């Protein structure tokens, strides 16, 4: 009987995936373990387990990415609104100054 010990691989945060948190690396570990188990012992239960783990991992990453992008969009909208308010306020001040100069 073969005994395999799976070591937890520490995944580095990638610069092109800022939504990837360190706490989500356990999903990748689970996926890797399920894949190894399926390759070593290809039976119906292991294949089903691999498909379930892949589905769960994809769902969690998709939701995390969606949450990150929504927060980023909200941040950009707030910054855009502040910029418009600032430029509108400056434009109004310039209008008042020019109208006072004309009088």
Q: What does the domain layout of the chain look like in residue ranges?
A: 22-102
Among 52, 55, 60, 72, residue whose Cα is nearest residue 20? 60
Per-residue pLDDT of the chain (103 residues; tens, 9 = 90+): 444 444 555 666 556 677 777 777 888 899 999 999 999 998 999 999 999 999 999 999 999 989 989 998 888 888 877 776 666 666 666 666 566 555 5
Q: Of the candidates 16, 18, 14, 34, which has an alpha carbon nearest to the alpha carbon of residue 26?
A: 34
pLDDT score at 23? 77
Stated pTM of the model: 0.59
pLDDT value, residue 33: 94
């Amino acid at each position: 009987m073969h005994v395999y010990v799976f070591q937890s691989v520490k995944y580095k945060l990638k610069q092109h995936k800022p939504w990837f948190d360190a706490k989500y690396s356990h999903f990748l570990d689970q996926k890797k373990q399920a894949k190894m188990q399926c390759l070593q012992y290809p039976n119906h239960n292991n294949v089903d387990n691999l498909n379930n783990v892949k589905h769960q991992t994809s769902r969690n990453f998709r939701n995390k990415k969606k949450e990150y992008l929504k927060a980023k969009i909200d941040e950009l909208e707030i910054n855009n609104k502040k910029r418009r308010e600032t430029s509108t306020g400056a434009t109004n001040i310039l209008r008042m100054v020019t109208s006072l100069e004309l009088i």
